[in-house]
Amino acid sequence: MTVTRKDDHVRLAVAQHQTAQHDRRDHAQPGGSFDDVHFLHHALAGTDRNRVSLHTSFAGWTWPVPLYINAMTGGSRKTGEINRDLAIAARETGLAIATGSMSPYLKDPACADTYTPVRQQHPDGFVMANINANATPEQARRAVGLLNADALQIHLNTVQEVVMPEGDRSFDHWPAAIAAITQAVDVPVIVKEVGFGLSGRTVSQLADLGVAVADVAGRGGTDFARIENGRREHADYAYLDGWGLSTPAALLDARGAGMPLLASGGVRHPLDVARALALGARAVGASGPFLTTLVNDGLAALIDQLTTWLDQLTALMTILGAHTPAALAETDLHITGALREFCDQRQIPLPQPKEASR
């Protein structure tokens, strides 16, 4: 069952991303989208490209680039090959990488070799193991140990589980379980959603539980309510379409909640990366877009895509006069549409004009 599900997820996510360009209703949905975030253009703000550095530092780490391949897969032969290729692409471009949920390995150690290629192919890279909040402290240690991981991601996915026919139905033990895992492992813990966003309230709670970093993983890209609904006999949860916080809304809601933030979910191109960094993310992740390139066009195409994204992010930072990813948070932003309404209703102060960049 697990093996079939992992292969299904890859197939359905790729199918979703192929139609996504023609099927974007996100802009009009509550909380808006990245398209509601605009950089105010200052024609004299530009800098020398040679002065732009992509290094980003947070939670005691320094990454060479503020981009990572986020959690996706493992557990079956096919997904093991995908993990290997994703790790090669991450190595060739300096990206950090997460494996998909390691629950299949924790249930059956025989599938360890569908995850270990991530570390083998990216020996010096920043590698994140991934588990759910049902894992025991001992299982969390095993997941980290298998990959000699630099950090442990715990994913929160109530919506996905409820829509998944064979999913979990009990979640009230998660806060205590997260606290126990943070105590048990000797690497920092990152908590992430799977595409429905983390609110400011959730991020504050996570800070109290000992979590080091929050990845808001918001709405706008891969939609697991739709994927799991498509696996139901009667697809009867279709009305959940649009559930969750968009990634920019989650960033605005959660900044100031006392934890370094990562952003993922619905990141389509280098401008979205710059937008997320400008809203306070320390690094930006994507899953579906990179998987789709790999599955449809192969490893060389993925390396090419990642190289282009980094090159164009540098170009955008040059236009904006931002010498580091953190400096993007000092640029002038203009927020419009449904994202602006979200800020008004949540009483989130809109980004103010910056004296320095006028």
Strands 333-335 and 37-39: antiparallel
Residue 132 CB, nearest approach to ligand FNR (Å): 8
Give the residue with the Cβ less far from ligand FNR, 262 or 343.
262
Least distance from ligand FNR to the Cβ atom of residue 354, Å: 29
Which C-beta is closer to ligand FNR: that of 308 or that of 345?
308
| Spacing of C-alpha 139 from chain mean position | 23
| Dihedral sign (CA 14, 197, 146, 91) | positive
Contact predicate 260/59, CB 8 Å? yes
Smallest separation (angstroms) from ligand FNR to the CB of 356: 32
Cβ 8 to ligand FNR, closest distance in Å? Answer: 9
Number of H helices, E strands in the chain: 14, 12
Q: Are 151 and 139 in contact (CB under 8 A)?
A: no
Least distance CB 131 / ligand FNR (angstroms): 9
Q: Minimum CB separation from ligand FNR for residue 174, in Å?
A: 14
- Give the number of other Cβ atoms within 10 Å of residue 244's Cβ: 27
Smallest gap, in angstroms, from Cβ of residue 192 to ligand FNR? 5
Q: Three-class SS of residue 278?
A: helix
CB of 156 to ligand FNR, least distance (A): 9
Q: What are phi and psi of 47, to 5 degrees?
A: -120, -175
Cα gap 132→138, rounded to integer Å? 13
Q: How far is CA 343 from its chain centroid?
A: 22
Give the interface with ligand FNR as residue ranges (CB under 6 A): 9-10, 13, 70-73, 100-101, 130, 153, 155, 192, 194-195, 217, 221-222, 264-267, 286-289, 291
Between 97 and 217, CB nearer to ligand FNR: 217
Q: Pairing mode, if any, of strands 261-264 and 284-286? A: parallel
Please report, for residues 7, 180, 212, the alpha-carbon distance to residue 189 in angstroms, rounded to integers and kept in the order given: 27, 11, 6
Smaller CB separation from ligand FNR, 45 or 203 = 203
293 vs 331 by CB, closer to ligand FNR: 293
Start-to-end C-alpha separation, the chain: 58
Mapped onto helix, strand or coil, the DSSP state of residue 346 is: coil
Phi/psi for 341 (5° steps) reads -60, -40
Closer Cβ to ligand FNR, 26 or 332, answer by number:
26
Specify the residue, 290 or 320, whose C-beta has the smaller distance to ligand FNR. Answer: 290
Residue number, 32 or 351, with CB nearest to ligand FNR: 32
